[in-house]
Every structure is written in C-alpha cells, then in structure tokens.
C-alpha cells in the first residue's frame, strides 16, 4: 500500500486518503468523491478497528460487506483499497498506543471510555502506512474530527485533515453504517435527532444566547420519542468542545441517543446573528484547498 502511494507521489500526484470501517454508504461515497476531485490518487481503507470498540459494544456484529464496498470504491473512482486483516494491523494487544488527550474524555469519550485512544492509534498507523496525504473525514463524527486534527498537529503527521459535510437520508437522518440496526419504529423515531438539532440551530441563529436552554430544547426534542434513550445533548465550542453556556460565536450542537440497540450520534453547527461562521473563526475562511493534484 505504501509502495503504491509512494509511486503516486513520485509521479507528482497528491494522495487522498479515506479511512473507513466499511459497509459503505453515500456518506463514505461523498468523501471518496471529494478526494477524487481534489487528489491525483485516491486510497480508501476499510478496517473495523477492534481497539475503538468497548467490551460491551458491537464489534462482533458490526455490519460488513466487502464485495459491495469494493464495488462502491470502484464506482466512485478510488485507485486503491487497503483492507488489512486484524492480525496485520495488531499482533495481539498492542503494547504501544496513542493517547488522544483530555478531549477524549468528554461527550463520546465519556460514554465510550478508550474509544478515541483506539481511533487515534489506528489513524496514526494508517497515516504512517499511507505517508504524506490529504485525509478526508466526515463532520458527522464531529468530536472524532477534532481529535484527529489535533493528532495530526500534535504529532506532526504530514497529513492535511479535511472535514466533509454530513450526508443525510431524505428525512434528515444522518447516514451511518449502524442505521441497519434500527427497527421500523426506531427508524421513525430517529428523525428526532435532526429535528432537535434543526430547532436548536434556528434558536441560535434567531439570537438565543443561553447555551443551556438550547441544549435542554434538544434533549426534550429527542426524549419526546418514547423509544429514544438520550445520552447527551450539548451546545459546545466547535474547537474545544467546552460547554458554550453563553453563545457568543459559532457553536457545535451535538446529540447522542440509543434507539433500541443502535447508538446514534449527530450534530450541526450554528452561528448567532452578527458572528462569523465556523470556517472563518478557524482561520480557514472557507477557502478552497490550494495545490496540485
Ligand atoms: P466509519 O466507517 O463510520 O468509521 O466512517 C468513516 C468516515 O466516514 C468517517 O470520517 C466518518 O465521519 C465518515 N462518515 C460516516 N457517515 C457519514 C455521513 N453520513 N456523512 C459524511 N461522512 C460520514
């Protein structure tokens, strides 16, 4: 895999890397398409990383369909797919792992202890295996994106991390490989996630400055579905993920809830009237990526 990507770089092509756990859907396809549009060589990785699953989580039953995944990769124009067996990535329990730092202990990390250490360990390995590249991740996993940006910066990976918008079903549900766990009633109830987020975003955009009130509104919207078991609903700073008790700039609105055996997460960003948007606030100004393919 590395040799192929070295050859692409030697030929002057920029490498676009799309790390996934497979069971690909339109959300993944959008990342591959974005990489295809911006890079000369596109590599997808498919690896269900045991390190990021807790002991009571869904590792064993996580959905898999390699043949279909390979078709989607081919259809979307990926040049290369890396699909290592677990033993190739880890020979037993790894003795050396990467710590995601304090931001890994809140929100998703509080509900899933060790999850982000598992994520950054596998992503560090994938970055090292792939070499210099642009790596495409979904905003759907907002905290993961923050953690991976920090990983790349803190450990000086020659990787430009690119965040991509969340792809949704027509009724607003964020696409996720885990949506297959939803029964009919749960699938209908799961719409409450985006509904709650949209209402909260509207409130922020309409001038509501009380972050707690915004979060409580989201919590109520999700909990109004009897089959929903809310995990968290928060209004936080998009960069630090610290609670935004008083909203003064762009905020990340994020929710997590269980619907039957499916634990789903979703988020949107919202900007109060008169403030600059999240891209501008991050100093990127929403500018297109520069450079050759
Ligand atoms: P996963 O296979 O769930 O680990 O996801 C692989 C990558 O696809 C991650 O960067 C996710 O954030 C991204 N992703 C998953 N679902 C979506 C979606 N609905 N829209 C955009 N990106 C997504």
CB 23 within 8 A of CB 61: no
**pLDDT band (50, 70, 90) for residue 277:** confident
Ligand 1 atom having least distance to the Cα of 138: 12
Please state, in angstroms and rounded to a whole number, the distance separating the CA atoms of residues 219 and 227.
14
**pLDDT band (50, 70, 90) for residue 127:** very high
Taking the centre of ligand 1 as the mean of its atom positions, its distance from the CA of residue 260, in whole angstroms, is 21
How much is the pTM?
0.95
The single residue listed with the structure tokens 């124009």 is: 77
Q: Which residue from 16, 28, 72, 268 has its CB within 8 A of the most atoms of ligand 1, so it is best to mutate?
A: 28
Checking 156-160 for CB contacts under 8 A at 24+ apart, the result is 157/124, 157/127, 157/128, 158/131, 158/132, 158/133, 159/17, 159/127, 159/130, 159/132, 159/133, 159/134, 159/135, 160/133, 160/134, 160/135, 160/289
Q: Which DSSP letter does residue 138 get?
A: E
Taking the centre of ligand 1 as the mean of its atom positions, its distance from the CA of residue 274, in whole angstroms, is 31
Distances (CA, A) of 71 to 1, 22, 81: 19, 12, 11
Work out the mean pLDDT of the chain and round it to a whole number.
95
Summarize pLDDT for 134-192 with one digit per residue, the tens.
999 999 999 999 999 999 999 999 999 999 999 999 999 999 999 999 999 999 999 99
Q: Mind giving me the DSSP string for 56-101?
A: TSSTTT----HHHHHHHHHHTT-SEEE---HHHH-SSS-SS-----
Summarize pLDDT for 31-78 with one digit per residue, the tens.
999 999 999 999 999 999 999 999 999 999 999 999 999 999 999 999
Summarize pLDDT for 218-237 with one digit per residue, the tens.
999 999 999 999 999 999 99
Residue 204, pLDDT above cutoff 70: yes
What would the mean pLDDT of 104-126 be, rounded to a whole number? 97
**pLDDT band (50, 70, 90) for residue 285:** very low
pLDDT on residue 141: 98
Hey, which residues are catalytic here?
28
Residue 263, pLDDT above cutoff 90: yes
> By CB neighbour count within 10 A (0-12 exposed, 13-18 middle, 19+ buried), where does 256 fall?
buried
CB 69 within 8 A of CB 46: yes
> Of residues 292 and 271, which shows the higher confidence score?
271
The values of phi and psi at residue 192, to 5°, are: -60, -25
> Of residues 277 and 34, which shows the higher confidence score?
34
Ligand 1, CB cutoff 6 Å, lining residues: 20-21, 27-28, 30-31, 137-138, 140-141, 164, 166-167, 174-177
Query: What sign for the dihedral angle of Cα 52, 252, 257, 30?
Result: negative
Ligand 1 atom having least distance to the Cα of 139: 12
**pLDDT band (50, 70, 90) for residue 279:** confident
Tokens describing residue 167: 């792809």
Tokens describing residue 141: 């996993």
């Amino acid at each position: 895999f590395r040799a192929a990507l070295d050859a692409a770089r030697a030929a002057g092509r920029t490498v676009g890397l799309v790390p996934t756990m497979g069971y690909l859907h339109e959300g993944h396809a959008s990342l591959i398409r974005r990489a295809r549009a911006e890079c000369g060589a596109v590599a997808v990785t498919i690896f269900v990383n045991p390190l990021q699953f807790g002991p009571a989580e869904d590792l064993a039953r996580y959905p898999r369909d390699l043949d279909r995944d390979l078709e989607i990769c081919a259809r979307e124009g990926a040049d290369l797919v890396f699909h290592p067996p677990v033993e190739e990535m880890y020979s037993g329990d790894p003795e050396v792992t990467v710590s995601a730092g304090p931001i890994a202990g809140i929100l998703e990390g509080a509900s899933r202890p060790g999850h982000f250490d598992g994520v950054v360990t596998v992503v560090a390995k994938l970055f090292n295996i792939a070499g210099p590249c642009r790596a495409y991740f979904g905003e759907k996993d907002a905290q993961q994106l923050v953690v991976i940006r920090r990983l790349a910066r803190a450990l000086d990976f020659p990787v430009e991390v690119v965040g991509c918008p969340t792809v949704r079903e027509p009724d607003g549900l964020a696409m996720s490989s885990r949506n297959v766990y939803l029964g009919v009633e749960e699938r209908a109830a799961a719409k409450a996630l985006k509904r709650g987020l949209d209402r909260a975003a509207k409130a922020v955009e309409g001038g509501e400055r009380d972050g707690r009130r915004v979060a409580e509104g989201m919590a109520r919207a999700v909990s109004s579905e009897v089959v929903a078991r809310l995990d968290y609903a928060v209004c936080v700073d998009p960069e630090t993920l610290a609670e935004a008790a008083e909203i003064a700039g762009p905020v990340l609105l994020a929710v997590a809830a269980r619907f039957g055996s499916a634990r789903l997460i979703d988020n949107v960003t919202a900007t109060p009237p008169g403030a600059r948007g999240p891209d501008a606030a991050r100093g990127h100004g929403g500018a297109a990526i520069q450079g050759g393919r």
